[in-house]
Structure 1
Amino acid sequence: MKTKTLKKDKVNIITLGCSKNLVDSEVLSGQLRANDIDVVHENAKRDHNIVVINTCGFIDKAKEESINTILDQVELKERGKLDKVYVTGCLSARYRGDLETEIPGVDAWFGTLEMPALLKKFNADYKAELIGERLLSTPSHYAYLKIAEGCNRTCSFCAIPLMRGGHVSRPIEELVREAEKLVKMGVREVMLIAQELTYYGLDLYKERRLADLLNAIADVPGLKWIRLHYAYPSKFPMEVLDVIRTRDNICKYIDMPLQHAANNMLKAMKRQITREEMERLITEMRALVPGICIRTTLIVGFPGETLEDIEELKAFLEKMRFDRVGVFTYSHEENTSAYALEDTIPADEKERRAQEIMEVQQEISLEKNQAKVGQVFTVLVDKKESGRYLARTEFDSVEVDNEVIITTTKRLQPGEFVNVRITKAYDYDLEGELVD
């Protein structure tokens, strides 16, 4: 007589969108694992029976990708390949009412701050004592460290506060403990992320405390690189620059989205800063931290943007010569204040403007890279691919910036730091040889 056996649930988490979403998925994984539930991230084996999709709802392209992913997983469920499909994240938080009607095959929807409710679906309890415990989905030598949730800014184009709420800082002590745990897991580099880094501490300590946080995390033994992402330029806390300059394990790198340079666009975007103020800030940053790498992102195609505004943006790039630049086309988002403006610029024209901006930056990037030929840099090895090693300097963040290509017969390990002399430069990448 055969005995019927119940196969244990296995959960696959699919993460879409930004690094902040990735951290949320890692925390969820840690909570599930602590409740003795088998969990994987982006499972290629397809031996799972439950899927949790952590969605992005930031711009049109991201929303489309999230919806298509949900539909794909629901179809697998209808074919008997899955038992349950759960959806969480920004898209779910923002459009849950509509989505529940349009995609009834999803078993349950959750917002960005509803992890305890999601865990209940697995008969699991949220364990507050596990704060800082994560199941890393990144390579083990680097990780993201989310220092705050939400945003208090009122940028006219942005729907993030609608999906993630107001700014909530995490205590310094809690973040230091998490950094220590990450180091024990093998992490050598942490990337500090939040919707807005420079606001850190105002809600919790009634003053900006990013500099204090950086000093505290820099004291964690074993952390070789600390990197800053998503710093708002308005009211930037200048004391942060002193910390970057004086602490050896804080990368001379800052990601500061500026969004535009034409003052009429900055005003319409509600950025609370002018082009002249941005130029003064960047000049002072470079004076206080010689050699600092500044990455920025820009938006083109905002309602009312003219070709003259694009020319001004190009002139701004030529003058300020940023190390790294990303360009987005404007996405008309419901319930933002910019939604009241007419979105009159066609999608193909937005793309054309974005390409025009990137062509300017491409030349700047090539010139800056060519100046590195012959110089020696300490690089962090990320992986081996097609017989070559891919690494990064302290001036390059993972996935979004330059890579250093190393061809060698020597065996290198991911997470290893080596010295490399740059031998060749491309628009966005470098080649180098090992230096003993």
Structure 2
Amino acid sequence: MKTRTLKKDKVNIITLGCSKNMVDSEVLSGQLLANDFDVVHESAKRDHNIVIVNTCGFIDKAKAESINTILDQVELKRRGKLDKVYVTGCLSERYKNNLEEEIPEVDAFFGTMEMPRILKTLEADYKAELVGERLLSTPSHYAYLKISEGCNRTCSFCAIPLMRGQHISKPIEQLVAEAEGLVRRGVKEIMVIAQELTYYGLDIYKKRELPRLLHALADVKGLEWIRLHYAYPSKFPMEILDVMKERSNICNYLDMPLQHASNHMLKAMKRQITREEMTDLIHKIRETVPGICLRTTLITGFPGETQDDVNEVKEFLQEHRFDRVGVFTYSHEENTSAYEFADTLSDEEKEARAQEIMEVQQEISLEKNQEKVGKVFKVIVDKREAGRYLARTEFDSVEVDNEVVINTNKRLRIGEFVNVKITKAYDYDLEGEVV
């Protein structure tokens, strides 16, 4: 008998793509732990014998990264460094048949909703009673809370419904129990995530219930910051803002992807909203919650986009001065309704347009940061790096937004809140001192 078979299996989970994928990996880890497996996230130690790659299939770059990661793990298996390689997630859901044919060395491919089947393959039991039990891959002071799965929107560029299915909300009681469990483990900030937050509750409560959920989460003792990601602008439920105003632990922060500013493009993208309606909504949001941080994402290079459309986006940014902006280049995705349009722009031209837009936002970001110099903000300390601490204000989410650099001789605890006076401003970051 090989010595290797006498060793206990150890699983390394590699997660690619968005925070929703990260939550799936954490839940899978919790199930494996409950079945007495050793589990690690993205370990570089190479002391594991099984790898599960949780893939992303959202855009071309993400698909390429997923495939390269799978091939890297297959090569380790070929060299005898691994016993098994499994693949799950969005890419596997969408292209399972192709992947099985192209990479037969993978032991099994699974879709996005097949966790019980993954566990069965590993001779583990799916434990339904483990509500919210996860092995966190984030630092212990923050975590993501996924409130729903899938999406019912029909944006012409988006393949998410093909990979994640229709919208399914989790019950409020389950989410509150999950949040309470996270707080018991030291979590102070949760990022509420979904493909589409504002749709929450329509399937199970027959009406939009995000405001009621937020009130329930805000009641969880010890939860100091609640942050909202991915709110669709069309038919935006304004009651969300009333809750934000009422509850001090809901951050004045809203991530609302608008995708474009040209009516020509918004119609082609099937966004169900016009530039004029978006302008009205932005004004109402800022009137209702003064000082709110608005984050948005935009797509450039969609089929038929002209330089005039790009100029409209730049004008829109200058008009509304968003606090945070991300820009993606269009990816031509099979089986989306936009796939019937000719994708005529080169990758280089798409990137050039994205850069053109970001140069406008860079200037806005610097000006907004300069306005913060001399002011005091409550920040959460995320990590210590190169002899200094990196923190965030309530206006900054993890990884995608600004950081506050704290230079101090004082010892700070990771995950603690401190007040910092801003002393310097850069394009996307701030410096400050503890007060």
- Tell me the TM-score normalized by structure 2: 0.99
Q: 1:409 to 1:342 in 2, by over 3 A?
A: same
| Deviation (angstroms), 1:5 | 7.0
- Measured in 2, the distance between the counterparts of 1:277 and 1:423 equals 38
Structure 1 residue 27 displacement after superposition = 0.0
Identity of aligned residues (%): 79
Matched, 1:184 2:184: yes
**1:260 and 2:260 equivalent?**
yes
Q: Which residue of 1 aligns with 2:41?
A: 41
Which residue is 1:165 aligned to?
A: 165
Give, in whole Å, the separation in 1 of the partners of 2:313 and 2:232.
18
Alignment of 1:388-427 (within 5 A): 388-427=388-427
Deviation at 1:298, TM superposition (A): 0.1
In the TM superposition, residue 41 of structure 1 has moved relative to its aligned partner by 0.5
Q: Partner of 1:150 in structure 2?
A: 150
Match status 1:328 vs 2:308? no
Deviation, 1:246, is 1.1
Give 1:98's aligned amino acid.
N
Whole-angstrom CA distance in 2 between matches of 1:199 and 1:346: 35
Question: 2:210, 2:359 → 1: CA distance?
Answer: 35
Q: How far is 1:276 from its partner?
A: 0.3
SS of 1:405's equivalent? strand
Q: Which residue of 1 aligns with 2:209?
A: 209
Per the TM alignment, residue 37 of structure 1 is displaced from its structure 2 partner at its CA by: 0.8
1:221 aligned to 2:221?
yes
The DSSP-based 3-state class of the residue aligned with 2:204 is: helix
| 2:348 aligned residue | 348
Number of aligned residues: 434
User: What's the counterpart of residue 85 of structure 2?
Assistant: 85
SS of 2:203 mapped into structure 1: helix
Shift of 1:4: 9.2
In structure 2, stretches of 5+ residues that fail to align are none
Equivalent position amino acid for 2:49 in 1: N
Match of 1:239 in 2: 239
Question: Within 1, Cα distance between the matches of 2:145 and 2:214?
Answer: 12
- 1:122 deviates by 1.3
1:121 and 1:297 map into 2 onto residues whose CA distance is 39
Secondary structure class of the residue paired with 1:192 = strand
User: In the alignment, which residue of structure 2 is the partner of 1:99?
Assistant: 99
Aligned to 1:175: 175
- Measured in 2, the distance between the counterparts of 1:230 and 1:414 equals 27
Q: Secondary structure of 2:418's match? A: strand
Equivalent position amino acid for 1:233 in 2: P
What amino acid sits opposite 1:235 in the alignment? K
Structure 1 match to 2:74: 74
Q: What SS is found at the alignment partner of 1:270?
A: coil
Q: Show structure 1 runs of 5+ residues with no match.
A: none
Aligned to 1:284: 284
AA in 2 matched with 1:419: N
**Which residue in 1 is equivalent to 2:368?**
368
Q: Hey, what's the Cα distance between the residues in 2 that align with 1:3 and 1:241?
A: 60
Aligned residue type for 1:44:
A
Give the 3-state SS of the residue equivalent to 1:352 in structure 2: helix
Change in 2 beyond 3 A, CA 1:3/1:130: closer
CA distance in 1, matches of 2:366, 2:245: 26
SS of equivalent residue, structure 1 residue 51 = strand
- The offset of 1:45, in angstroms, is 1.2
TM-score w.r.t. the length of structure 1 is: 0.99
Q: Distance in 2 between matches of 1:261 and 1:159?
A: 21
1:44 Cα deviation after fit: 1.8
Find runs of 4+ consecutive structure 1 residues off by over 6 angstroms: 2-5
Q: Provide Cα deviations, 1:84-133, integer angstroms capped at 9, x if missing partner.
A: 00000000000000000000000000000000000011111111100210
What does the per-residue CA deviation read over 1:366-387, in whole Å, with 9 as the maximum and x for residues that have no partner?
0000000000000000000000
1:60 paired residue number: 60
Aligned-partner SS, 2:424 = strand
> Cα offset for 1:3?
9.3
What is the CA-CA distance between 1:28 and the residue it aligns to? Answer: 0.1
Q: What's 2:196 paired with?
A: 196
CA RMSD across the alignment = 1.0
Q: Return the alpha-carbon distance in structure 2 between the equivalents of residues 3 and 367 of structure 1.
A: 63
Within-5 A mapping of 1:112-123: 112-123=112-123
Q: Give the superposition deviation at 1:390.
A: 0.1
SS at match of 2:260: coil
